[in-house]
Amino acid sequence: MANPKNIKNIKRVVVSDKHTFYWKDGDWHTHSGVLKEKDIKKSNEIKSHKGAKFKVFDANFLDKLKNIRRGPATLTFKDAALIVFFSGIGKKSKVIDAGAGCGLLAACLGRVASKVISYERRGDFLKIAEKNLRFLKASNVQLKHKDIYEGISEKNADAITLDLPEPWQVIPHAYKSLKSGGTLITYLPSIVQVERTVTEAEKSGFFHSLTFETLFREWHIEGKRVRPKSQMIGHTAFISIFRKV
């Protein structure tokens, strides 16, 4: 993985049978030998000075997302993907996000929505998010140094995502901020938190659409050797979807 201080330079992905490298510049020294900069730049299949074979291709958004500086704990890619899908947002949508954390979810939402406003109360997290969003070129994401528990300034939002320990404190603000039919999504590790959130949301007039968790298991595919991998990403958090009535 690239050094977070230098992530802005990631250009190519170099893959062997066992390892993936994110290249920025210069010759690359691996356990299987040295890869020359000129080969990495121009070729899709290269060999190290020891004869080991590598495939090379241009880095995309997901490759860069894997190399952002994390800092605060953040949600997994499997959860981010489903949050974006179930938000129902499109290219004209305005989204409110909190807390920003390292900016991962805000950047993903920004790939689909027209504008994302991401609230973060902690200044140290805000600095991390700022650097990551610049690196990801998420120019349509606006960071806001404010505690969303205290209120939401924006109106007519299409969706609001809450990765917070007490989202029920935001529910009255969210209801006022969302347009009719707008989506509220919460991300919580404990079902006890979910129960309170659902209760408070329904009291405020939200329709509870669904609550779910996702389990992510990769498979090993090598000729006829086909089997699930021994390790998997199990429970990470509960995602709850609400609609403003």
Q: 4-61 with 68-244: one CATH topology?
A: no
The pLDDT of residue 8: 52
Average pLDDT over residues 48-68: 95
Q: What dotted CATH number matches 68-244?
A: 3.40.50.150
To the nearest whole percent, how much of the chain has pLDDT over 70? Answer: 96
CB 181 within 8 A of CB 208: no
How far is Cα 145 from Cα 120, in angstroms, rounded to an integer?
Answer: 5
Helix then strand count (H, E) for the chain reads 7, 15
What are the pLDDT digits (tens) for 84-112? 999 999 999 999 999 999 999 999 999 99
How far is Cα 150 from Cα 7, in angstroms, rounded to an integer?
Answer: 34
CATH architecture of 4-61: Roll (3.10)
How far is Cα 80 from Cα 169, in angstroms, rounded to an integer?
Answer: 22
The pLDDT of residue 6: 47
Mean pLDDT across the chain, nearest whole number?
Answer: 94
The pLDDT of residue 52: 93
The pLDDT of residue 46: 96
What are the pLDDT digits (tens) for 26-49? 998 988 899 999 999 999 999 999
Q: Which residues pair with residue 233 across a beta bridge?
A: 216
How far is Cα 156 from Cα 176, in angstroms, rounded to an integer?
Answer: 8
- Residue matched to tokens 């499997």: 78
The pLDDT of residue 120: 98
Domain locations in the chain? 4-61, 68-244
How far is Cα 177 from Cα 199, in angstroms, rounded to an integer?
Answer: 19
- Model pTM? 0.91
Radius of gyration of the chain (CA): 21
